[in-house]
Amino acid sequence: MSKQTVRKIRYDSVDMEGALRLAGKALQEKGVHTVVTPNAEIAQMCLEDPSFFQIIESADIILPDGAGVVLAAKILGTPLRGKVAGVEFGEALLSLAEREQRGVYFLGGRPGVAEAAADKQKGRLPKLPVCGVHDGYFDKTGAENEAVIEEINTSQAQILFVCLGAPLQEKWLHANKEKLTHVRLAVCLGGSLDIYAGTAKRAPSVFIKAHMEWLYRLIKEPRRIGRMMRLPKYIAGACAERLRGKKKGQKQA
C-alpha cells in the first residue's frame, strides 16, 4: 500500500477496501497496531502541536477522514485515492470482526452509550463478539486507568475502538498501547459510538455527497465554530504551500 504525504502527515492512500486489507493484515500479526483517522481539523492540530504530530505519525495506519484532507492533497498535487470516513471504516471493521470472530471492545462515550452501541451493532451483526464496553468518563491516569486497561486485557478482545475524541484518544492510546496484552488493532474513532448507538446522527446523504458534513455538524452544534475554524486555516495553508512550491520552482528554472 502506498503512502502519500499531505502537509507533513503520511497518509495511507487507500479506499475502503484497501483500508480493510491493512486492518486484516494487522490482525494477523503480533503486537498492537494503531489506526488514526485525521481529518482537516486534526491535521491542523498536528501542524500547531509537534508533539501531537509525532503521535499521529507513529500510528501504523493513517486514514484520510475528511474532504478537507482530500482537497488539500489535490491542491498540493499529491492526490489521495479518496476519503475513508472513520465511522464507515468502523462499521466495516465490525463486519470483518463478525466474519473472523475477532473479539471487540468499545471504549468511550457517555455512560450507557457504549452499551447501546454494542446492542445496536449486535442487532445488525448477530454473531459479533463484543467482549466488553466502558464509558469514556474515567481518570486517564493512575489506578482507575489501570483498572480499565485490566478490563480490556481480561476481555481478550483483539479489536479495540477508542472513542474519546481527538486529541485525547490518540494521546491515551499512544501512552497505553504497550500495556494491552491481547489487542491486535486499536482504532481511534472519535464520536462513532454515539452514531452506532443512535444517540447522534450522521449528516444526511446530501451533505455527505457534497463533502459538507462539517457544515451539518456546525449547524447542529454551533459551539463547534472555534474548532471548525481549523478547516479553512488548513486549506489556506495548503494553498500557501502550493504557491511557495511554484515560486521555488520558478526560481530554480
3-state class (DSSP) for residue 176: helix
| Contact yes or no for 7/238 (Cβ under 8 A) | yes
pLDDT of residue 248: 62
Please state, in angstroms and rounded to a whole number, the distance separating the CA atoms of residues 39 and 28.
Answer: 27
pLDDT of residue 127: 98
pLDDT of residue 200: 84
pLDDT of residue 245: 76
What does each of the 253 residues of the chain score in pLDDT, given as a tens digit?
Answer: 689 999 999 999 999 999 999 999 999 999 999 999 999 999 999 999 999 999 999 999 999 998 999 999 999 999 999 999 999 999 999 999 999 999 999 999 999 999 999 999 999 999 999 999 999 999 999 999 999 999 999 999 999 999 999 999 999 999 999 999 999 999 999 999 999 999 987 767 777 776 667 666 666 776 666 667 788 999 999 999 998 876 565 555 4
pTM: 0.92
| Contact yes or no for 218/228 (Cβ under 8 A) | yes
Buried b (16+ CB within 10 A) or exposed e, 199-237: bbebbeeebbeeeebbebbbeeeeeeeebbebbeebbeb
